[in-house]
Amino acid sequence: MKIVKVKNYEEMSKRACSIILEKVNSVENPVLGLATGSTPEGLYKYIIDAYKQNEVSFKDVTTFNLDEYIGLDKHNVNSYYTYMKEKLFKHLDIRPENYHLPNGSADDIKKECEQYEKLIEQAGHIDIQVLGIGVNGHIGFNEPGTPFTSRTHVVDLAESTRLANARFFDTLADVPTQAITMGIETIMESKTILLLVSGEQKAEALARLLDGPVSEDVPASILMEHPNVIVIADEAAWQ
């Protein structure tokens, strides 16, 4: 595991951006795994800037997002589809058929999960997966207790996750109770993993990942067993 300590959120985002650009510019038909939430917003801004400066093209890039809420239409303002469209995709030359998120409104959710796995496999697996970490140590929406052998599946969101995400919704009751997420094994098949950690609210989760045992109680702890992980964490996350 390579650990990069940076001063603050901006520096974390810039460093992450240069790693992503390097990957996109060096791999043929790159496959990116992407995340939502507050953590990668800065990274996406820097990617858009780089695209505008002609430093990179996403014409041959395929992407897979980690997760999507169940029960929100994809055009809902709080869906992860809308997040990705607004904060990244619509600003780039990525082809609409090349970006993927699980469909949380699918009639047959189990089939949707299986299909998502198949698409990732057909794309040749993820070259680099961007990850945030939950305050409870989750990755994607794999909450504590999720088997390390899990594939893309439906999850009941932990109360702490719903509370953490309530800031994007009018009320806590509006936060969906379920989501589809890539499984832990699916994430672990990514060739490289880029974990971004910012802010003191993540300090405990980061410490449990770095110092604690590898345990399903801390989903992110499995990253210790991945051969190619880069963690970029800011000073606040180290306290």
Can you tell me the distance from the alpha carbon of 184 to that of 130, in angstroms, rounded to the nearest whole number?
A: 14
Q: What interhelical angle do 41-52 and 9-26 show, nearest 10?
A: 50
Residue 95 CB, nearest distance to ligand PGA (Å)?
26
Which residue's structure tokens are 């057909």? 122
What number of residues does the chain have?
239
Q: Footprint of ligand PGA on this chain (CB under 6 A)?
A: 37-39, 132-134, 138
35 close to 132: Cβ distance less than 8 angstroms: yes
Q: Is 49 a catalytic residue?
A: no
Pick the closer one to ligand PGA by CB: 27 or 135. Answer: 135
Instruction: Tell me which of 68, 117, 143, 234 is the catalytic residue.
Output: 143
What is the DSSP code (8-state) at residue 142? B
Can you tell me the distance from the alpha carbon of 113 to that of 154, in angstroms, rounded to the nearest whole number?
A: 8
CB atoms within 10 A of CB 150: 19
Can you tell me the distance from the alpha carbon of 179 to that of 102, in angstroms, rounded to the nearest whole number?
A: 9
Two structure tokens written together for 219: 């989903």
Q: Is 67 a catalytic residue?
A: yes
Q: Is 11 a catalytic residue?
A: no
Residue 139 CB, nearest distance to ligand PGA (Å)?
7
Residue 206 CB, nearest distance to ligand PGA (Å)?
12
Q: Is 143 a catalytic residue?
A: yes
Pick the closer one to ligand PGA by CB: 56 or 70. Answer: 70
Residue 97 CB, nearest distance to ligand PGA (Å)?
27
Pick the closer one to ligand PGA by CB: 56 or 232. Answer: 232
Residue type, 177: T
Pick the closer one to ligand PGA by CB: 56 or 229. Answer: 229
Closest residue to bound ligand PGA by CB: 37
Instruction: Tell me which of 65, 117, 127, 136 is the catalytic residue.
Output: 136
Kindly list the catalytic residues: 67, 136, 138, 143
